[in-house]
Amino acid sequence: MVVAGDFRNGVTFEMDGNVLQVIEFQHVKPGKGAAFVRTKLKNVITGSVVEKTFSPSDKFENAYVERKEMQYLYNDGDLYYFMDMETYEQMPLEASLLDDNFRFVAENMMCRIASYKGKVFGVEPPMFVELTVADTEPGFKGDTATGASKSATLETGAQIKVPLFIEIGEKLRIDTRTGEYIERA
């Protein structure tokens, strides 16, 4: 059991048949009246986000979300195949389970597959990946004073903004949460 007064970011619990994860929380003690907990919750199955307030004494069942490291192999149309590195079993997942940040995942990269009671609901790519620039415009010498950027296409097909000095074939370090260039690898 988890009590609303003990909510922290990342806590998962069951409420009304849904599995919810705390994204943000705030304990509020107004001058008048009882204290309450203001939260922003994400439904881990559907991905929807709601704001809700609770009494600090409200109790909920813990929900144990399993996260397993698996290797992304390839995609075949709408199915993406992942392999369990312990049993070597392959698991096909539908494209609808993948977030936008999956565009930074190349073949053979390790990802975390999130499931609840055996039902997969999400794929978490690594926070940082190293990818090669497949295509970009040439930079011009002396055009760096403004801190300008240009578009680059990565080996996975993802488009990002990079500094002018980056050229085709260079390996870059990318933050998959924001989709931003960090540094040369």
Distance CA 131, CA 185 (A): 9
Whole-prediction pTM value?
0.71
Residue 165 has pLDDT above 90, yes or no: no
The percentage of the chain sitting over the pLDDT mark of 70, rounded to a whole number, equals 96
Across the chain, mean pLDDT equals 88
Residue 145 has pLDDT above 70, yes or no: no
- Which CATH superfamily hosts domain 66-124? Nucleic acid-binding proteins (2.40.50.140)
Q: How many CB atoms lie within 10 A of CB 91?
A: 15
Half-sphere exposure of 172 (CA within 13 A, CB side): 29
* 66-124 and 128-184 agree in CATH topology: yes
Given this model, what pLDDT does residue 95 score?
87
- For residues 38 and 51, what is the distance between their CA atoms, to the nearest angstrom? 7
At 141, which amino acid appears?
Answer: K
The pLDDT value recorded for residue 124 is: 86
Residues 135, 174: Cα–Cα separation, whole Å: 16
Long-range pairs of 106-109 with CB within 8 A, sequence gap ≥ 24: 106/72, 106/131, 106/155, 106/156, 107/72, 107/73, 107/74, 108/71, 108/72, 108/73, 109/71, 109/72
Taking a C-beta distance cutoff of 8 angstroms, is the pair 34, 21 a contact?
A: no
Structural domain 2-62, CATH architecture: Roll (2.30)
Banded model confidence at residue 173, pLDDT cuts 50, 70, 90: very high
Paired tokens of 33: 């009246």
Instruction: Classify domain 128-184 by CATH number.
Output: 2.40.50.140
Length of the chain: 185
Q: Which residue has the higher pLDDT, 148 or 86?
A: 86
Q: In the prediction, which pLDDT does 128 show?
A: 92
Mean pLDDT value of segment 102-129: 89
Mean pLDDT value across residues 72-94: 92
Per-residue pLDDT at 42? 87
pLDDT of residue 144: 58
- How many Å apart are CA 112 and CA 66, to the nearest integer? 9
CA-nearest of 161, 141, 144 to 152 is 161
CA 167 to chain centre: 28
Residue 176 one-letter amino acid: T
Reported as a pLDDT band with limits 50, 70 and 90, residue 169 is very high
- The whole-number pLDDT of residue 150 equals 87
pLDDT at residue 146, as a whole number:
66
What residue spans define the domains of the chain?
2-62, 66-124, 128-184
